[in-house]
Amino acid sequence: MENTASAMASMEKLDHSNQAFPVSEFIDEYDASSGGIYPSHWHREMELQIILAGSARYTVNGETYVVKEGNALYIAPNAIHQSNSLEPGTVGYNLVILPVLFTRILKNIHCEQYSLPLTMLQPSAFLITADSKTGFSILETMRRMYYTENSNHAYELFLLQNLLGIWRSLLALFPKPASNAADSPKLLKENRMRNMLEYIHENFFQPVTISQIAASANISRSECFRCFSDMSHITPMEYLNQYRMFEATRQLTTTNKPITDICYAVGFNSTSYFSKEFKKIYQMTPREYRESKKI
């Protein structure tokens, strides 16, 4: 399988190997038998994912999209999104692109109007299917990109040519952007959610309360619950637990730390409770999970 990389690399802060050409490719190998959940996060890049096998559910800024095999999803820069596999063996091919790649080129040729969806962040997501010729063309292009070896001659030019073609096609499919005032209720809620997620990501390893999460966005506890319900369809504490478990799986597969140490490192103060909650999500104990990931 070409262009493989850890799915963890698609979380929040991406390290593009070539800053002058800020495009990265990843393979997301979902594993439904062990959860297959990627908690809510965001990043400054736009993202395109085509599902090569299986199917996945995405929640983007509170809207749900089911992406079936052969279909793809566009996610705007800074959109808060999460995903989970819907069946065993789900695999996706991801492209993450800093908007400056397009905006720089379009500015140089005085075509800035074609970068409006990136600067207005609308739409926040768009499902790409083969129902139209344009959608079919995008999907075929993404499949061709997946199967092309990145060692090929002038590979960056190959990527750029195809990405510009995809963007042109997406512009034809995108709905007309609505008003996007900086103080709109939706944008305000998204900004609050980003602040709260950032607080959790930076403090998950220690005791965290609803009041602390709410305070990070300068809102009440009740508004905190509303934000999480609208944007992620779970409670703040459910998200905290989900993120702790996600971090636990990372440490179980990338370190040799004792399971007890991992339990405390991700914010739990009881190994028995940690194991119980872990098994509830992943259908196996932490030890069994670690063993299942060994090659």
Overall fold of domain 7-173? Jelly Rolls (2.60.120)
Let me know if domain 185-292 sits in CATH 3.30.200.20. no
Cα(263)–Cα(98) distance, rounded to whole angstroms? 35
Q: Which residue has the higher pLDDT, 38 or 215?
A: 215
Residue 90 DSSP symbol: -
3: pLDDT strictly greater than 50: no
Per-residue pLDDT averaged across 132-151, rounded? 92
- Backbone angle region of 64, left / alpha / beta, with phi > 0 → left and psi within -120 to 50 → alpha: beta
Distances (CA, A) of 226 to 41, 189, 190, 198, 289: 18, 9, 12, 17, 34
pLDDT band at 108 (very low <50, low <70, confident <90, very high): confident
**Could you report the per-residue pLDDT of 173-208, keeping only the tens digit for each?**
998 766 555 557 888 899 999 999 999 999 999 999
Q: What is the pLDDT of residue 9?
A: 32
Report percent pLDDT > 90 for the chain.
66
Portions of the chain given CATH number 1.10.10.60: 185-292
10, 58 in Cβ contact below 8 A?
A: no
Of residues 151 and 211, the one with the higher pLDDT is 211
Q: What would the pLDDT profile of 154-165 be if each residue is shown by its tens digit?
A: 888 999 999 999
Mean of per-residue pLDDT scores for the chain: 88
Q: How far apart are CA 47 and CA 14, in angstroms?
A: 12
Higher-confidence position of 15 and 154: 154
Omega into 286 within 30° of 0, i.e. cis? no
Q: Where in the chain is the domain with CATH 2.60.120.280?
A: 7-173
How confident is the model over 211-241, as pLDDT tens digits? 999 999 999 999 999 999 999 999 999 999 9
pLDDT of residue 177: 67
